[in-house]
Amino acid sequence: MQPSRVMRRALQVLATGLSIVACVLVAPVMAGAAESVKIGTVIWIGYGPYYVADALDLYKKSGLKVTLQVFSDPALIPPAIEGGTVDGGMLTYDQVIGVVAKGSTQRVVSPIDYSAGGDAIVSSVDIKKVADFKGKKIGFNPLSPSDFLLSYALKTNKLTEKDIEPVNMTPEAIPAAMASGAMPIGVTYEPSVSQITALEGGKKFHVVYSSKDAPGLITDVMVFKKEVIKAKPEVVKALIQGYIDGLDYMKKNPDKAAAIIGKALGVSGAEVKEQLSGVYNMTPGEFSKVFAKDSKETTSLYVSGALISEILKAKGQITTAPKTEDNFDDSILKTMLKK
């Protein structure tokens, strides 16, 4: 989702050295061997623009080599960024708030997407609504987007975690647990959501609550430590440009892009198109809205941040909410958008 990826995922693969390698377009760097940069991530439909940029080598003129290091658990990425195992990462905004509240200098440099149904709470069909969760076992990954989504759903339905029986499970373990009958309710994200609802001809499980019910609350963002932003601005710029170029290709070549993303996710192009309906990738023209202080939309980091902080404090994961201005650094993004 502290709960992470408000909400940022699709079927994750084990982080046993697997990585996706991409060369990123940046301004010329110092002469010599290309600098290697690692970005922590999980496999998620909302990261489609990056998969496209990687597959088509849209960054071939770069002087950097960027490796997207895939983690099986999104909660492991913030400490990896903090410890320098990776240079930056793709996180959900709630994760950023959680670490900044504890003194981290990790900062959002650009938005990626927000979940609009891609994260969901799935249950057996006899469980009709969130109120029916009381006393039930619910499988979810603590300190993940699933944790945050569940907390928000319970809160808005006047329940707390004391009303349920939480079971610690990784997102990729949810489908098997529910298929076996061991877990009546699970919180996960695409493509696991679709896998679960398709079981037994779609007659056994259904979506009870999803991020579509809370647009903007589960927002994926690109994150670097403040020190890295200052020391390596070309890296930040390169990743933002990679997203922009990848998204542009997706809009102009939807079928080809779907096939590329499907290969990264391990699903068909048709399934990619279906899953894309559950996320929204922000365009360059919408970036400024994400950082708008006077906005009333939940897609603004100020508005969603207030809601996220309230939940994190209630769960005892933070004691004081950080200032929203301390959660991001959009200086490089602003410079790029002016050109």
- The tens digit of pLDDT for each residue in 286-334 reads 999 999 999 988 889 999 999 889 888 888 889 999 999 999 999 999 9
For the chain, what percent of residues have pLDDT higher than 90?
Answer: 63
Q: Candidates 3.40.30.10, 3.40.50.150, 3.50.50.60, 3.40.190.10; correct CATH number of 119-213? A: 3.40.190.10
Give Cα separations from 327 to 85, 107, 109, 157 (angstroms). 21, 5, 9, 29
Per-residue tokens: 162: 């004391």
- Torsion sign (Cα): 36, 108, 298, 206: positive
pLDDT tens-digit map of 19-72: 433 333 334 443 455 678 899 998 889 999 988 988 887 777 777 777 889 898
Question: What pLDDT score does 201 carry?
Answer: 94
Question: What pLDDT score does 66 carry?
Answer: 77
**Average pLDDT, stretch 217-221?**
90
Per-residue tokens: 280: 């929204």
State the Cα–Cα distance between residues 157 and 185, nearest whole angstrom: 16
pLDDT tens-digit map of 122-148: 999 999 999 999 999 999 988 777 888
Q: How far from each other are the two terminal CA atoms of the chain, in whole angstroms?
A: 34
Is the pLDDT at 120 greater than 50? The verdict is yes
The secondary element (H helix, E strand) that includes residue 83 is: helix 77-83
Question: What pLDDT score does 173 carry?
Answer: 92
Least confident range of 48-57, 122-131, 151-160, 162-171: 48-57
Domain borders along the chain are 19-114+217-338, 119-213
Decide if 19-114+217-338 and 119-213 have a common fold: yes
- Residues 114 and 300: beta-carbon distance below 8 Å: no
- SS3 category, 188: strand
Q: Which of 27, 85, 19 is nearest to 232 (CA)?
A: 27
Whole-model pTM?
0.77
- Class at the top of the CATH hierarchy for domain 19-114+217-338: alpha beta
